Amino acid sequence: MTEPVTILLSTRNRGKLVELQHLLGDFPARLLTAEDAGLGHLDVAEPGETLLENATLKALAYGQASGLPTLSDDSGLFVEALGGLPGVNTAYYGGPAKLVAVLEGIPAPRRAYFACVIVLWTPDGSLQHVEGRIEGQITPELRGAGGFGYDPVFMPDGFNETFAELGVEVKNPISHRGRAVTAALPMLRALLA
């Protein structure tokens, strides 16, 4: 049996760890939060203009502090009619109700995509990254009680329901994060060698 590899996540959020563990399936990893690794809060600024810059800053900070292989991720929602906003600033934008109000009057389809960048720092100092995307549109109203963030207003291409209506069993394998994790598997497998 392959020994699991220990990987630090550049977060203190245990929910993110549980979600990633689930997305990794049977990949043999022992995931740690920053707290598990005995790291205090690292106040990493996220001044970047791209998801990749921000994820890289976090991976470097936590990786160099711990010496452990470190994964970080950064996600955002990019709305075509808003020139790609809120994008890298999605966490600070104000929520799905605000987005629906801002887009009022703009005819369907209001194209948008979620993107997730995952960066891996390894103790030899190298950085690698992958990206996952899911294309879709913003609905004219909030739909569905499940999910979080912009799930109630994001309808992925090929479906007539929002992420919030579809639920995690349908969402996770096709989501930006799910696709990024799948894309990350080869670089994670290299850690097992």
Sole binder of ligand IMP in the list 129, 151, 156, 179 (CB under 6 A): 151
Q: Which of 128, 4, 7, 5 is nearest to 67 (CA)?
A: 7
Binding to ligand IMP in span 16-55, by CB under 6 A: none
Sole binder of ligand IMP in the list 22, 30, 67, 91 (CB under 6 A): 91
Q: How far is the CB of 192 from ligand IMP (least distance, A)?
A: 26
Q: Report the phi/psi class of residue 125: left, alpha or beta, with left for phi > 0 and alpha for psi in -120 to 50.
A: left
- Residues 97-136: x/- map of binding to ligand IMP (CB under 6 A)? -----------------x----------------------
Binding to ligand IMP in span 61-90, by CB under 6 A: 74-77, 90
Q: Does 165 bind ligand IMP (CB under 6 A)?
A: no
d(CA 121, CA 64): 9
Q: Which is nearer to ligand IMP, 69 or 152 (CB)?
A: 152
Q: Which is nearer to ligand IMP, 10 or 66 (CB)?
A: 10
Q: Which is nearer to ligand IMP, 63 or 132 (CB)?
A: 132
Exposure class string for 148-187: b at 16+ Cβ within 10 A, else e: ebbbbbbbbeeeeebbbbbeeeebbebbbbbbbbeebeeb
Q: How many residues lie near ligand IMP (CB under 6 A)?
A: 13
The secondary structure of residue 39, as a DSSP letter, is: -
Q: Which is nearer to ligand IMP, 148 or 189 (CB)?
A: 148
Q: How far is the CB of 22 from ligand IMP (least distance, A)?
A: 14
d(CA 185, CA 20): 12
Q: How far is the CB of 51 from ligand IMP (least distance, A)?
A: 8
CA 172, distance to chain mean position in Å, is 11
Contact 29, 55 (CB under 8 A): no
Contact 85, 49 (CB under 8 A): no
Q: Which residues are catalytic?
A: 74
Residues at the contact surface with ligand IMP, assessed by CB under 6 A: 74-77, 90-91, 114, 148-151, 163, 175
